[in-house]
Structure 1
Amino acid sequence: MPEPRFLQIHTLTSYTATLLNRDDSGLAKRLTYGGALRTRVSSQCLKRHWRMAEDPHALHTINGADKAFRSRELVTRKVLGGLEPSEVVQAIEPAFQEAVYGGKGFKEKRSRQTLLFGERELAWLRDEAKRLVAESAGDTKAAAKATEQWGKDFKKNIAAMREATALPGGLTAALFGRMVTSDTSANITAPVHVAHAFTVHGEESESDYFTAVDDLSADEPGADTIQETELTSGLFYGYVVVDLPGLIDNLGSAAPDLAGPVLHNLVHLIAEVSPGAKLGSTAPYGRAGLMLLEAGDRQPRSLAEAFRVPCDPDMASAAEALTGHLAALDRAYATGEERRVLSLRNEALDGAAPGTLKELADWAATLPARLS
């Protein structure tokens, strides 16, 4: 059996009367595929819900999984926040903002890139700030001068810190990558590749007209507020690829302890955690009706082509289209992936052992140990 270089995760998940992911006009995101307009959920939306989930299988519950924070105010809140005396902190702040955000990032928040830093990076920066404040002995000019020199050595020093740290960007960066335009050496390549989810059929949407009545205006009949929103329904195809050697490289010395649990929890999150806003008015919660896991050493390939021609908007039709396309790929390419499948309808896939979500997640967790 070849080494499992890639783990591919395919899902079919249904949502009814929701607005999962909105564009800048407040409407559902869309894409045209196969000549038909589809409802879409962006990969960024999916990844954020998986990494922020408060769930029994949340990524942050894994022992040793360092947190990370994405913000334009990392220096203001996580590095310098609460340090005293304030006048000395103000004197060193510009150098810290410029070191982290680059360019003119120290001048105003809106000019900064939204960066992702791990707990250990932020702790190192805070310790450096504390040291500079203490060494200044309250002298703001001395603090500013010392911090200016510190800024010149920043990249060299933080690079050394990162090399000695198992998860410099936290688990989030180890999974989904990081781009730092002010310091390309801090960039981390994402081993988890997430496609935009889309409906396997043409879009199903309507404009929802709704009102709100003022409870304290009994003398005035009718609605106090009249608004419209969009609601969509659909069966979505989702696709995720995990580059297993890339994941192990990013986890560094923590890989033997973290790689298996990370894959175990990620499979649970993909199947069970729903994207979506308007929680109170749409309850946008769904679970995968079908999940197919594949492990192999050949280049991954999406099964989206199964739905280029829109299928009927039901699980039976979608599963038939997916399994038919997969069989055609197997006949043509014979890439020999190992497979596990979860199906609420008990669809049979050639070469795919059926199982529960727990069994699929447990199997995924064994894959890193099989890499030499």
Structure 2
Amino acid sequence: MTAPRFLQIHTLTSYAAALLNRDDSGLAKRLPYGGALRTRISSQCLKRHWRLAEDPHALARIDGAEAAFRSRELVSLKVIKPLRDAGIDGAVVDALEPEFQMALYGDKGTAKKSRQTLIFGETELRWLASEAARLADEAGGDAKAAKSLAEAWRKGLNKSLKAMTAAATLPGGLTSALFGRMVTSDPEANITAPVHVAHAFTVHEEEAESDYFTAVDDLSGDEPGADTIQETELTSGLFYGYVVVDIPGLIGNLGGDADLAGRVLHNLIYLIAEVSPGAKLGSTAPYGRAGMVLLEAGDRQPRSLAEAFRTPCPPHLGPAAQALSTQLEAFDRCYETGEERHALCLANAPIPGAAPASLRHLAEWAGGLPARLAAGRAA
């Protein structure tokens, strides 16, 4: 069997009376597709919930995972604050800070509002903090010397950062190793994402309503009526989700560690199937699990099965799973790409080439793919 290069993950997940992902006006995000308006969950929303999930299969629980932080204040909180907390002369610290801000965020980095939100790993931030402490020590309490040292350090940073990155297993943390990052101030620090996440959308036309609600003042005495009157939007839907993992890219981002890549894929399958995106937790309880999960492994370019839902289908798992199976059969007949498949489906719909399985089986099978790939290359 061909060593798998790509893992494709297809899901169908149902939510009722929820507001999973809002736009700038507070309404549910939408997507026109096939002439019909659908409810949408952005890929950014999905990835954020997977990477921050407090769960038995959380990414942070994986042995060997390095933490990462996404912020416009990485330098302020992770590099400069430790110097101030250590009691280093304030004038020296003030002289160092602008150079470190520009080193990470570019020439306009001294102003918070001009900074790009970046993600840096714990390893990188520890190194930057140690460099700041070293420069402060070399300045010997002289603010002018600190500024001169920091300016020279910033100008030679690319070579130093490149060497530090090359020596670290997960320079940008596990989050960057999965979902990538772009650093406009230093292209050498960019990391290509091996996990590609599509926007999820409903397989049917949107189902939405405006929810009128009130709040009564408990201390208002005998006065009738509501103290607050508001409206929000609620939606229901069966969402198609699609994720692709470039397995060699993932192994490469993890420093060549196929075993770590396997543990990551194992947990990622659980997170995709079980972790729900969603705001308004207290008023909508938007918790759901995938009613169908289909995994495919192969060496050909991936292809979404979204085409199965270009014509809206009934908002039920059975018909949606059947539409997906029909699309899959058409691809198999015309392209003969021969992906290996494993699937679970609560509707018991047959998936072409995939025997029914549990989520545990799917996660264990996915977790073994990096080792298979590494063994195939070694052979």
Which bin holds the TM-score, normalised by the shorter protein? over 0.9
- Distance in 2, matches of 1:350 and 1:42, equals 29
| 1:199-235 deviation digits (Å, cap 9, x = unpaired) | 0000000000001111111142111111000000000
Separation (CA, whole Å) in 2 of partners of 1:357 and 1:5 = 22
Which residue does the alignment assign to 1:80? Answer: 80
Match of 1:329 among 328, 331, 354: 331
Deviations 1:63-93 (CA, angstroms, capped at 9, x unpaired) = 0110110100000001111312222111110
TM-score where L is the length of structure 1: 0.98
Residues 279-306 of structure 1 deviation map (CA, whole Å, 9 limit, x = unaligned): 0000010000000000001110000000
Partner of residue 60, structure 2: 60
2:177/2:253 contact within 8 Å kept: yes
Q: What amino acid does structure 2 have at the position aligned with 1:211?
A: T
Tell me the equivalent position of 1:94: 98
Q: Aligned residue for 1:279?
A: 281
* 1:183 and 2:186 correspond: yes
Work out the CA distance in 1 between the residues paired with 2:309 and 2:19. Answer: 22
Shift, 1:363, TM fit: 0.1
Report whether the alignment pairs 1:347 with 2:354: no
> How many angstroms does 1:158 deviate by?
0.8
**What does residue range 205-216 of structure 1 map to in structure 2 within 5 Å?**
205-216=208-219
Could you tell me how far 1:110 is from its partner in structure 2?
A: 0.6
Local SS of the residue matching 1:16: strand
**Contact 2:203 2:313 (C-alpha < 8 Å) held by counterparts:** yes
SS at match of 1:3: coil
Deviations 1:317-368 (A, max 9, x none): 1011111111111111111100000111222222112211010000001101
Provide, for residues 116-154 of structure 1, a one-character-per-residue CA deviation record: whole Å limited to 9, x for no partner.
100000000000011111222211111111111111111
Matches within 5 A, 1:3-82: 3-82=3-82
Aligned mates of 2:287, 2:131 — CA distance in 1 = 44
Residue from 160, 163, 177 that aligns with 1:160: 163
Q: Which amino acid aligns with 1:94?
A: P
Matches of 1:27 and 1:370, distance apart in 2: 45
1:127 paired residue number: 130
1:357 is aligned, of 331, 349, 359, to: 359
CA distance in 1, matches of 2:219, 2:353: 64
1:151-198: per-residue Cα shift (whole Å, max 9, x none)?
111111111100111111111111001101111111111110000000
Find the aligned partners of 2:94 and 2:359 in 1 and give their Cα distance.
52
1:234 aligns with 2:232: no
Q: Structure 1 residue 369: deviation in Å?
A: 1.0
Q: Which runs of 5+ in 1 are unaligned?
A: none
CA contact (8 A) 2:6 2:302 kept: yes
In structure 1, which of residues 130, 137, 141 is the aligned counterpart of residue 140 of structure 2? Answer: 137
Please tell me the root mean square deviation across aligned C-alpha atoms, in Å.
0.9
Percent identity, please: 72
Q: Distance in 1 between matches of 2:311 and 2:352?
A: 23
Q: Give the whole-Å Cα distance in 2 for the aligned partners of 1:6 and 1:151.
A: 39
Aligned to 2:316: 314
* Separation in 2, partners of 1:270, 1:295: 17
Structure 2 counterparts to residues 252-271 of structure 1, below 5 A: 252-253=255-256, 255-271=257-273
Paired residue type of 1:96? F
Structure 1 position 95, deviation (Å): 0.5
Q: Which moved more, 1:194-203 or 1:143-152?
A: 143-152
- Paired residue type of 2:187: T
State the AA in 1 paired with 2:100. Answer: F
Give yes or no for contact 2:328–2:352 (8 Å, CA) kept in 1. Answer: no
Q: Distance in 1 between the 2:196 and 2:258 partners?
A: 22
2:106 and 2:308 mapped to 1: Cα distance? 45
Q: In the alignment, is the contact (CA less than 8 A) between 2:99 and 2:150 conserved in 1?
A: yes
CA distance in 2, matches of 1:173, 1:80: 23
- Give the Å deviation of 1:257: 3.1
